[in-house]
Chain A
Amino acid sequence: MSDKENIHISSYKEHVSTWLALILLTFMTVFVSVFGAELRTLSVATAMIIATVKATAVGYYFMHLKYDPKIYKIMMATVLGLFVFFMLMITLDYITR
């Protein structure tokens, strides 16, 4: 990796914006779990989607994935894809029993 790739300084604006987004998404999770409890599976699915968005934001901005070579993004996407497959197959089993 070249020196140019090693040097990347994120702006305060980017950090604070990401942090605010994470706080907002946390409130959304709480809101859905409290007011959408009767939706059962849908409320769980919503919470999982919000958690995934939060994890992606942390990886991309706070852990500097956005500056990393493409191969690391592909690795992260593969892992996320595997997790989605796990959830889909278990859900498929439940709803088709």
Chain B
Amino acid sequence: MTVDTLPYTTFFKAKKGIMSWLFTLDHKRVALLYLYSIMTFFLVGASLGILMRLELFHPGKDIVEPHTYNQIFTLHGVIMIFLFIIPSIPAVFGNFFLPLLLGTDDVAFPKLNLFSFWLYVIGALFALGTLVLGDGPADTGWTFYAPYSVRTGTNVTMSVVAAFVLGFSSILTGLNFIVTIHRLRTPGMGFNQMPLFAWSLYATSWIQLLATPVIGITLLMIVAERVFGVGLFDPSIGGDPVLYQHMFWIYSHPAVYIMALPAMGIVSEIIPTFAQRTIFGYKAIAYSSMAIAFIGYFVWGHHMFTSGMSGPAAYIFSILTFLVAIPTSIKVFNWLATLYKGSINIETPLLFALAFIFNFLIGGLTGLVNGALAADIHLHDTYFVVGHFHYVMFGGTGFAFFGALHYWFPKIWGKMYNKKVANTAFATLLIGFNILYFPMIILGIMGMPRRYYDYLPEFTFWNQISTVGSWITVSSLIVLIVNLFVAANKGKKAPDNPWDGITLEWQTKSPPPLENFDKMPKIPEGGPYNYPNAKSSS
């Protein structure tokens, strides 16, 4: 019997009982706690999205009243942004795989990690509490724009407190990752020997750490205005609503990169594995993550071109916005160059990664249209923006999230899913997704405003196509999730390295033991994408 086949205790079996999960300090278990919570809220958010699409099937009332519709789209946004997309990849895959990719046994502050999770739960309870407490969920949209958020009778205060608490969870996770990356890399692993997912988490963590406090204080200012009548944003009591928009977007635009950068990191891990070659342009991809994070701080004003902001400020923000496209396109070029002449093995994770590139390009290019001052005057606050945003968030981050779930599934659970079902779910999801969101881009160009309960008859056709797309999308998601759920419980045992992965996490057993590695990992010559696999040793 070789060392590799010796029996060992997986992190699943290292400790037993519900309390060993709820108060675990193991980064892998914390990651799974996040995964189960995040997936639950994703399904709640998706259900609210379906309700919106059903309501918009015909002009006029279909299933809910206008006020309820406003509350549904607000709760959909709050749940999907703060409870799903922002924490999704960092909290789940970052927590699980960052220590594995760095060759260490845990994050720098395990107790802080657990505290972050419980803050997430508390924040989620506040968000869902608006359903049953006070005058119901906020009806402001997830942006909580003043002065309406100051004046509405709905439970804005509780929604805002939810976002505030969730922000703290995000800050602490970012802090934990930064210290982990600086302090716990395995000996011999410099910054330029780190896997690209770790680089993307590093860039993301800086945004979480530096930008999130701004939204925290801004949201507290909303509460101060609602509760104490302090004139900050409401012009009727001496405030300035444009100041709110500045402060909100100083966080919320960099937050887009909290959502997108880890997804790019996932793609940078999947592509070399399934192209069976080292990544092309390692440093260019690594440093472009930092460049995106850095430039992302300077572009918030492009959300405000029609807010009454001054012309000179708008010009500057427009120019800066176009700069973000450069590091993003550097990444896309290097991913494609990695695939070029690679020994490509088409599996479900690679399909998700390729779909990410396709969807993200549409999302990115429509973003540039929004960043152009003249075009934005026509498109601002139309369905074009909703389409663009969902192409980036769901088509980009969502697809990367599900790609990562399929990629690392055998490492996490030590089992393999049904690949045919997974590929079918992927194909229908990609089709359903495009049928759902591309009509929104067309509707926006036609002039249909976002967040409207009713619409003119000429918008009916594309709205109905979009709603049909939502049915295909949700059906695909159900198949995808059930397939993975069944595999986690009854799937066939997977080998330690089923994809012939060439990165560090595939060097340990599946599922990993509690301490991740039996012995201190060594860095191979040729960088972090050159670890041996079955092919290289045969």
Taking beta carbons and an 8 Å cutoff, which residues of A are in contact with B? 79, 82, 85-86, 89-90, 92-94, 96-97
Are B308 and A89 in contact, CB atoms less than 8 angstroms apart? Answer: no
Known: A79-B210, A86-B250. A93 touches B310 (CB 8 A): yes
In the complex, which residues of chain A have a beta carbon less than 8 angstroms from the beta carbon of B246? Answer: 89-90, 93
In the complex, which residues of chain B have a beta carbon less than 8 angstroms from the beta carbon of A97? Answer: 308-310
In the complex, A92 Cα to B250 Cα: how many Å?
15
Q: How far is the CB of B163 from chain A (nearest CB, A)?
A: 20
Known: A82-B297, A86-B250. A92 touches B243 (CB 8 A): no
Pull 7 A–B residue pairs with CB atoms less than 8 Å apart, ordered by A. A90-B246, A92-B313, A93-B242, A93-B301, A93-B310, A93-B313, A96-B312
- From residue 209 to 236 of chain B, which have CB atoms closer than 8 A to chain A? 210, 214
Are B210 and A82 in contact, CB atoms less than 8 angstroms apart? Answer: yes
Q: How far is the CB of B287 from chain A (nearest CB, A)?
A: 15
In the complex, A86 Cα to B316 Cα: how many Å?
13
Are B312 and A90 in contact, CB atoms less than 8 angstroms apart? Answer: no
In the complex, A90 Cα to B312 Cα: how many Å?
11
The closest CB in chain A to the CB of B178 belongs to: A75
B526 on interface, CB distance cutoff 8 Å? no
Known: A79-B210, A82-B210, A86-B250. A92 touches B297 (CB 8 A): no
Known: A79-B210, A85-B297, A85-B298. A90 touches B310 (CB 8 A): no
Known: A96-B310, A97-B308. A89 touches B316 (CB 8 A): yes
Interface string of B143-173 (1 = CB under 8 A from A): 0000000000000000000000000000000
In the complex, which residues of chain B have a beta carbon less than 8 angstroms from the beta carbon of A90? Answer: 243, 246
Q: Which 7 A-B pairs have the closest CB atoms?
A: A96-B310, A93-B313, A97-B310, A96-B312, A93-B310, A90-B246, A93-B309
B311 on interface, CB distance cutoff 8 Å? yes
In the complex, which residues of chain A have a beta carbon less than 8 angstroms from the beta carbon of B309? Answer: 93, 97
Are B210 and A92 in contact, CB atoms less than 8 angstroms apart? Answer: no
- From residue 293 to 320 of chain B, which have CB atoms closer than 8 A to chain A? 297-298, 301, 308-313, 316-317
Are A92 and B312 in contact, CB atoms less than 8 angstroms apart? Answer: yes
In the complex, which residues of chain A have a beta carbon less than 8 angstroms from the beta carbon of B243? Answer: 90
In the complex, which residues of chain B have a beta carbon less than 8 angstroms from the beta carbon of A89? Answer: 246, 298, 301, 313, 316-317
Q: How far is the CB of B202 from chain A (nearest CB, A)?
A: 12
The closest CB in chain B to the CB of A86 belongs to: B250
In the complex, which residues of chain A have a beta carbon less than 8 angstroms from the beta carbon of B250? Answer: 86
Q: How far is the CB of B252 from chain A (nearest CB, A)?
A: 13
In the complex, A90 Cα to B246 Cα: how many Å?
7
The closest CB in chain A to the CB of B243 belongs to: A90
The closest CB in chain A to the CB of B311 belongs to: A96
In the complex, A87 Cα to B242 Cα: how many Å?
14
Q: How far is the CB of A39 from chain B (nearest CB, A)?
A: 19
In the complex, which residues of chain A have a beta carbon less than 8 angstroms from the beta carbon of B210? Answer: 79, 82
In the complex, which residues of chain B have a beta carbon less than 8 angstroms from the beta carbon of A93? Answer: 242, 246, 301, 309-310, 313
In the complex, A97 Cα to B242 Cα: how many Å?
11
Most chain B beta-carbon contacts within 10 A, residue among A89, A92, A94, A97 = A89
Q: How far is the CB of B464 from chain A (nearest CB, A)?
A: 41
Besides the known contacts A92-B312, A96-B310, 6 further A-B residue pairs in the complex with CB atoms under 8 A apart: A89-B313, A89-B317, A92-B310, A93-B310, A94-B310, A97-B309
Q: How far is the CB of A80 from chain B (nearest CB, A)?
A: 11
In the complex, A56 Cα to B243 Cα: how many Å?
26
In the complex, A97 Cα to B301 Cα: how many Å?
14
In the complex, which residues of chain A have a beta carbon less than 8 angstroms from the beta carbon of B311? Answer: 96
In the complex, which residues of chain A have a beta carbon less than 8 angstroms from the beta carbon of B313? Answer: 89, 92-93, 96
Q: How far is the CB of B314 from chain A (nearest CB, A)?
A: 9
Interface string of B271-303 (1 = CB under 8 A from A): 000000000000000000000000001100100
